[in-house]
Amino acid sequence: MNCYQASLRLLTKRDYSIYKLSKKLLEKGYDQIEVDETIDELLAKKYLKEEFYIEAFVKGHMRKGYAPSYIQQKLAQENCSCSLEFIYEIFDEYKFSEEKQIRDLIDKKYSRIDTKEFKNKAKIMRFLLSKGHESQLAQHILSNL
């Protein structure tokens, strides 16, 4: 199977960024020149659209409760450039906000514990910070529960 066929097989299963698809093809043993030519051909035929990948990535991470700045940072690690404005547009389109995310995360994960107890508050804060939320906003919402 040649590089082009392998890339089509991968793309039928899910979206990839240019960086991730290149990395995957290189791991399969294809040489850099062949991978670059394949990527160029896929882009020309519009089989590979990084915008769709970025949008799906943002939506998926948004639903998992990750903050916009965290999502942008994760995309940057994959060599995908995306503005915070674009991420906020998707949040607005789906009527998501960081406050709603934080409340939903707390309700889902910690609905059965006393959020007033210091030990539990610290645990919740660590969890929210691991999702990329700002400590001030998380603390404000936590104190209002």
Confidence grade of residue 55 (pLDDT, cut at 50, 70, 90): very high
The domain limits of the chain are: 3-48, 51-93, 98-143
Residue range 66-87: average pLDDT? Answer: 93
DSSP-derived secondary structure letter, 1: -
* Tokens, residue 13: 């299963």
d(CA 35, CA 126): 41
Chain-wide mean pLDDT for the chain?
Answer: 90
- The pTM is what? 0.82
- Predicted pLDDT of residue 116: 65
Question: How much of the chain exceeds pLDDT 90, in percent?
Answer: 62
Which SS3 state, helix, strand or coil, does residue 17 take? coil
Q: Which residue has the higher pLDDT, 140 or 61?
A: 61
Confidence grade of residue 115 (pLDDT, cut at 50, 70, 90): low
* Tokens, residue 122: 């610290």
CATH 2.60.40 given to domain 3-48: no
d(CA 20, CA 82): 16
Distances (CA, A) of 63 to 43, 53, 71, 134, 145: 29, 15, 11, 17, 22
